Amino acid sequence: MTRWAIVADLNRCVGCQTCTSACKHANATAPGIQWRKVLDFEVGEFPDVSRAFLPVGCMHCDEPPCLDVCPSTATGKRDDGIVTIDYDKCIGCAYCAVACPYQARFRVDAPSSAYKGRKMRHEVLREDPTRIGVAQKCTLCIDRIDDGMAQGLTPGIDAEATPACVNSCIAGALYMGDVDDQDSNVSKLLKENRHFRMHEDLGTGPGIYYLYDGEIGDSSAIEPAPMVAEPAGLAAVSSQLQTSWDWRAAANFTFGGTGTGLFAATVLAATFAPMLWVAQFLAMAFVGVGLFCVWLEIGRPWRFLNVFLHAKRSWMTREAIAAGAFFAFGGLGWLLGSVPLAVLAVLSGFVFLYCQGRMLNAAKGIPAWRQKGVVSLLFSTGLTEGAGLLAILVAITGFEGSDLRIITLMLIGLVALRHILWRSYRTALGEVGAPLGTFNALDRGYLNLSTVSQTVILVLLVVGLFNPIALIVAAALAVVTGWAFKFTLITKAAFNQGFAIERMPARGAGKSATGIKPGWTTA
Amino acid sequence: MNKPANPTKQSVSSYCYQCVAGPDLLKVDMADGVPYQVRPNGSAEEIHPAGGKVCVKAFGLIQKTNNPNRILTPMMRTNPKKGRNEDPKFEPVSWDVALGEIAKKLNKAQADGLNDASGFPRVAASFGGGGTPTAYMGTFPAFLAAWGSVDMSFGSGQGVKCYHSEHLYGELWHRAFTVSPDTPLVNLVLSFGANVEASGGVCGVRRHADARARGVKRIQVEPHLSVTGACSADWVPIKPKTDPAFMFALVHVLLHEIPRTRLDIAFLKRRTSSPYLIAPNGFYLRDPASKKPLIWDLKSSGTVPYDTADTDPALEGDFSVSGLEVGPDDVEWAHGEVTCQPAFGHLVAHVKPYSPEWAADICDVKAARIRDTAMQYIDHACVGETIEIDGKTLPFRPVAISLGKTVCNGWGGYECVWARTLMACLIGGLEVPGGTLGTTVRLNRPADNRWSSVVEGPDGFMNYPMNPTKKGEWHESSASRHAHQTLVPLAANSPWSQALGPTHLAWMMQKEGLDHLPVPTQPDVWFVYRTNPAISFWDTDAVSDVMANFPFTVCFAYTHDETNHMADILLPECTDLEGLQLIRIGGSKYVEQFWEHQGFALRDPASKPQGEAKDFTWIATELANRTGLLEKYNSAINKGAAGIRLFGQGYDFSLDPEQVHSVEDIWNNTCRAASAEITDGEESQGLDYFRENGFRTKPFPKEQWYLYPAMVEKDLRFELPYQERLLRIGQELGARLHERGITWWDRQLMEYEAMPHWQDLQGLWETALSDAYNIKIGDYPFWLLTARSMQYSWGGNAGIQMIHEVAGNVAGHGGVLMNPAAAKTLGLAEGDQVEISSPSGKTRGAVLLRQGIRPDTLLMIGQFDHWKTPFAKDLKTPSMNNLTPMMLELTDATGSGSDLVKVAVKKIGAAS
């Protein structure tokens, strides 16, 4: 087999950005988009400081998170390890962008020019409409590799078959070759030099290897780079708040959870009272609005049907299928007044809700999402919001036959469960660590799932067993805090993985040193 | 604009010579005639020191060519008032009108006499980029040669932004306009602020990367952790401008703390002035008959002339001797039985006070670290070892010292370059494999071959074309407005000398003349090309005011900028990828350009000229024709004024002097001459050959990287450690100036020491600023420095979006860099907007925090503060240039100053 990989010798790299520029030329990337770039790291405190440069880009991972999440199968992986994107299939959902822990994926929604509004002739010449509104990233100059190999050339050896960044490197720091070939240039380098891969612990098997020391023979394992919450001057390489998914994506999780929860709560309540059919309609409307919002966010909205193409691995595809079932059963049940269909809709809604949780959880690029416990937490808050909304509806409409007390008790149980799951999630996140911004966002204020707010809700719910006004307030707070949590989780706590350098390289006769994971902390 | 279907693709060969570390040989890909991609020229891999790679700056050339902000028609100013706040009201005109207007001014200047009443050329020209514009200005040098008298003293960065002391003293001592370690062989480099990873071009970067890969140790001594510091094994955060103390302490350790046997005694005896006896007045004791310097021969226990065969010169000891001493203006003292020491003995005594303990407080570096650095130097020196180069056995001394900007210009520069070169001499490491090498010559001749420039001079040293200082020979006035021939003997008088004079004096004197120098007149015509002194010089407000008063300025204009805002005529010339030119490549050139090949490379247009832009050669020809200089112009081209002589042994491709020749014809003949030159007249392929192949080279002997073999062959010595010649010209210069009543240069005269003493440079700066601006220096607590950026330096590319984008990945761009602890004391956080003020100016920008900078130091990378250049003016990037005053007090004897000033910081807004 062949496995193309990049080896970057950090002892050689000077951070000149020639590879960045060559990539921009070779691939005609838009202003501000850098498929390849070199990061500038600094470690230590004056006067004991070291600085190093780290080329990054798509890692063409062994287990690419972007591949698993892609709902359209636009992202592919070739046998030679190159991760590809089919621009004609991609719906531009940017799920891959949040799933990538290397911040390697981009979406450009409109043609742009270096000098605003005034396109240069080479920009016109190289404009590629197929790349608008879809995911894009380093291709490893796949055309050069394929064309070169077709001519009998060897990638990594012959310039015509080698990625532009490697070709351009003025320091001789970048190499490309087949790591499955034990005699290849890169295999030899890896045998002769100590090296690391970024975020190795995530299990992605990244395809960029960093040589940091020529000392061989010392096989001691590399300690994980220490987290430094607020390193001065490292904002550019630290974790950043993701911008791929905004309020529109958050609305899908918010309303989708509430809607499916409401539907389930309504059907459950019907076991001891008549069915509140209007609530079912409202539940489906919630889910529908959520999906509409996320449709507004995708780069190629009219290709939305491609979302169904990857049921085998993508939780987004599965969510879409579950949504279809939910609407089919729920809608039909509502039209026919069929309880069995409504039950099927509930089950579909549960699947939908579960898929939403798994969807977030599969986004390896966002530590707050990939944290164990996020699935049950999303599930529980969806049910809680649904139960809360049902309680409000029943309390306000005075729907005859419903036992408000049972609904209230159910809500008390769900709020308590949700809080327990939140505590569990937050504790676990604090133990493994996450970007500082994530903790700041999750812990800020009171309109969240914290003990204070949830205790207030529980107290009000207990009072609500006897006082409908208290119940309405408590239920509303249960819903709103759930929404606020999800909105925060998607848009404010969703700091990406950021970059890290496991070891600072030995420079010449110098020694390698401990690296840094900037912007991270435990709490 | 519609996108063409199935564009026709082709590529051409070109080069990038935007910076002094070029040229890089490249390929430009085009589709339907539109250049869209730059890439390395793979066919240059075998002959180029960096495997044919191309610097990041070259990738900006596509946007540079297609930039919508380009000026694409000749333009004429319609608002006669000039100034930053005046709208020039440029109106498009035809080339005929524009050139006609210029010719009218030039013809009047010719009629009035080439020089004005003050003796200054009526025509002035300023070019940027350390001479690199010649790689783009086609035959314009031939036009200037034909014109005859041109003032190039209005600097655009020379002297204040260069390695000035290195240039002048380097050429004097070892034909080293620039100095480099022999990086492929060196094992230890002490780098004082040298920023080769940012300014060494692809050759510098590659050579040092290769050296690191084989385990070289580089110790970077500088106040901030630059890109080069990042790539070094060790960083010593020294106080700004205290490098001489550190280096003197290194010399002290070598001379006072280790056995003499660890030094290269043979080298010191045979290849330096170390054994020359010093007479009581500080000049060499000479043989009365031959007037040759005397040495004490240990074999014969007596004095003999330095070049006597079979001697064993003493380096130390007091000797009772007699002889002749020749002082300034040939004054002679006859000495009988006086006690004299060899120069080396004087050196030992001279550096005795400069111990590591003495330097520690000055530099804020522990004495043990300084001492350890010196010991590492000697431990790596391999004294006594040899290596074979091109079949010849040469000394092998794999240690070297690099000096950066601000370290080796302005006050203190002499001390540093002297100590650096002396350190090399002490271990026999000057101009030998592994050691400290010069790379090119600019003041000596011939400029294309360092070995040929090794010409015997007085006292066993190489000759040097000093500006005369003896009575009757001294130039009371100079052919330049900065008085380089009058004030700076070391500046010499080559075509490069004006650029190496005290260029800021030219600007300063436009404001206020200096006593007893000719009245500082304005040039009738000022040409400006590839430079923007209104941004790139110091005290930019003052410089802008001066140029606003020039009567007629012609700018070869790429976009509008801060300098051509003051112009009368803007001429859009073909930019880098549009013009046609052939240049010399290879041999040993600036910085780290050590090739094993030499020859020629073509800049083949990758694009038709945009708009009405014209090839520079066409412009030069037109100007020559319109000023009646066609014959002289063509003759100048024939003689090689455009880079290559068109005739030689067995070939003659000279242009008919009487005819107007097309751009293609001129360069075709040049290509043919180049082919003939490189093949010793055997072949004569023209433009088509170069278009097909891009370049043509032949081997360059690696042995010629080293001056040592040429010195041995001619039995010459490096003029170190003792500077008798400088002592003499300094005293002569002082006498001449005083005879003329000039006393304002007295501080500079103090630099002419036989061996430099340490001086408190920080105190010198603080006192000068305090006195000049009547301020409390304590109100300006930070030292402000600058550093080069590989993405920007020399490129004139602040208006190129892609360069800005990629440079943003390198920390320090776009704001003022400061230490977090220092920021905390001022209540500043990352991104806060601050005003940085020096006693003479202010700038604004964002705070950038890094641990890799001293708490007492600030750094602003590059040169910005643009207010007119499109795109750049919106960057809001601070620059130290307008904060740095032009002051006589801060001008050294070579006429240069340092990028250094004290500043205060004030918060004006929070991070956005």
Tens of pLDDT along B406-443?
999 999 999 999 999 999 999 999 999 999 999 999 99
Residue pLDDT, tens place only, B660-697: 999 999 999 999 999 999 999 999 999 999 999 999 99
For position A401, what pLDDT does the model report? Answer: 61
Distinct helix (H) and strand (E) counts, chain B: 27, 35
| B741-759 tens-digit pLDDT | 999 999 999 999 999 999 9
Query: Residues 293 to 322 of A: which have CB under 8 A from any B CB?
Result: none
Q: B34 and A121: CB-CB below 8 Å?
A: yes
Q: What CATH architecture applies to the domain A4-238?
A: 2-Layer Sandwich (3.30)
Both structure tokens of B353? 């006070």
Number of residues written out for chain B: 912
B229 contacts chain A (CB < 8 A) = yes
H or E element, residue B545: helix B540-548
Question: Which segment of A140-154, B75-89, B324-338, B489-503 scores lowest on mean pLDDT?
Answer: B489-503
| H or E stretch at B322 | strand B319-326
Closest CA to B407 of B236, B154, B172, B185: B236
In DSSP notation, B627-683 reads: TT-HHHHHHHHHTTTTSS-SEETTEE-PPPTTS---HHHHHHHHHHHHHHHHTTTS-
DSSP-assigned letter for residue A72? S
Which residues from chain A sit within 8 angstroms of residue B55, using beta carbons?
Answer: 16, 18, 170
| A52-104 residue pLDDT tens | 999 999 999 999 999 999 999 999 999 999 999 999 999 999 999 999 999 99
pLDDT band at A270 (very low <50, low <70, confident <90, very high): confident
The average pLDDT across B270-297 equals 98
**A115 touches B: beta carbon within 8 Å:** yes
CA dist., res. A332 & res. A328, Å (int)? 6
Provide the pLDDT for residue A218: 62
Interface check for A164 against chain B (CB to CB < 8 A): the answer is yes
CB contact under 8 A, B40 and A159: yes
Q: Kindly list the residues from chain A whose CB atom is less than 8 angstroms away from the CB atom of residue B69.
A: 115
CB contact under 8 A, A214 and B213: yes
Closest C-alpha to A505, from A35, A101, A55, A46: A55
User: What's the confidence (pLDDT) of residue A272?
Assistant: 81
Q: A142 vs A149, B53, B200, CA distance in Å?
A: 10, 22, 32
Residues of chain B contacting A214 with CB distance shorter than 8 Å: 213, 215
CATH topology assigned to domain A247-492: Formate dehydrogenase/DMSO reductase fold (1.20.1630)
Q: Residue A46 and residue B830: Cβ atoms within 8 Å?
A: no
Closest to B784 measured CA to CA, from B839, B865, B830, B851: B839
Return the pLDDT at A50.
97
Query: For A456-485, what is the mean pLDDT?
Result: 96
Residues of B in contact with A506 (CB under 8 A): 233
For position B313, what pLDDT does the model report? 98
B32 touches chain A (CB under 8 A): yes
In this predicted model, what pLDDT tens digit does every residue of B818-861 receive, in sequence order?
A: 999 999 999 999 999 999 999 999 999 999 999 999 999 999 99
- What residues 703-742 of chain B have any CB closer than 8 A to a CB of chain A? none
What's the whole-number mean pLDDT along residues A106-130?
95
Q: Distance from A159 to chain B by nearest Cα, in Å?
A: 8
Q: Is the pLDDT of residue B3 over 60?
A: no
**What's the pLDDT at B5?**
62
Q: Which residues of B touch A173 (CB under 8 A)?
A: 209
Instruction: Tell me the chain B residues in contact with residue A232 when contact means C-beta distances shorter than 8 Å.
Output: 820, 830, 849-851
User: Which structure tokens are listed for A353?
Assistant: 């809700």
Q: Are the C-beta atoms of A141 and A151 separated by less than 8 Å?
A: no
Reported as a single tens digit per residue, the pLDDT across A362-375 is 999 999 999 999 99
Residue spans in chain A of domains classed CATH 3.30.70.20: 4-238
Distance from CA of B851 to the nearest CA of A (A): 5
Q: A191 — contact with chain B (CB < 8 Å)?
A: no
Dist. CA B172–CA B166, nearest whole Å: 9
β-pair type (B553-556, B525-529): parallel
Confirm or reject contact between B349 and chain A (CB < 8 A): no
Q: Are B683 and B653 in contact (CB under 8 A)?
A: no
Please give the C-alpha separations between residue A515 and each of A366, A505, A522, in angstroms, as whole numbers: 21, 9, 17
What pLDDT, on a 0 to 100 scale, did the predictor assign at position A223?
A: 81
CB B609 within 8 A of CB B615: yes
Contact B215, A508 (CB under 8 A): yes
Could B197 and A232 be called an inter-chain contact, meaning their C-beta atoms sit closer than 8 Å? no
Interchain CB contact of A32 with B (< 8 Å): yes
How many angstroms away from the CA of A231 is the closest CA of chain B?
9
Task: Report all structural domains of chain B as residue ranges with CATH numbers, in order of start.
Answer: 75-154+486-506+514-571 (3.40.50.740), 164-444+709-737 (3.40.228.10), 760-909 (2.40.40.20)
Judging contacts by C-beta atoms under 8 Å, the chain A residues touching residue B854 are 46-47
Cβ–Cβ below 8 Å for A18 and B234: no
What is the pTM assigned to this prediction? 0.96
Joined together, the tokens standing for residue A45 give 């405190």
DSSP secondary structure letters along B116-181 = -TTS-BSEEEEE-GGGGGGGTSTTHHHHHHHH--EE--S-SSTTTSS-HHHHHHHHHHHS-SEEEE
Contact call for residues A109 and A132 (beta carbons, < 8 A): yes
Would you state the pLDDT for residue A496? 98
Q: Is B852 helix (H, G, I), strand (E, B) or coil?
A: coil
For residue A156, what pLDDT band results from cuts at 50, 70 and 90? Answer: very high
- Amino acid occupying residue B329: D
Name the band, by pLDDT with cuts 50, 70 and 90, for residue B4. Answer: low
Does the distance separating the beta carbons of A168 and B54 come in below 8 Å? yes
SS3 B498: helix
Closest residue in A to B201 (Cα) is A170
Confirm if B13 and B41 have CB atoms less than 8 A apart: yes
Residue A460 C-alpha from the chain's centroid = 36
Helix (H, G, I), strand (E, B) or coil at A280: helix
Measuring CA to CA, which residue among B569, B551, B438, B797 is closest to residue B90?
Answer: B569
Distance, in Å, from the CA atom of B533 to the CA atom of B18, rounded to the nearest integer, reads 16
Location of each CATH 1.20.1630.10 domain in chain A:
247-492
Q: Tell me which residues of chain A, numbers 385 to 424, contact chain B at a CB-CB cutoff of 8 Å.
A: none
B294: three-class secondary structure by DSSP = strand
Q: Which tokens go with B637? A: 């081209």
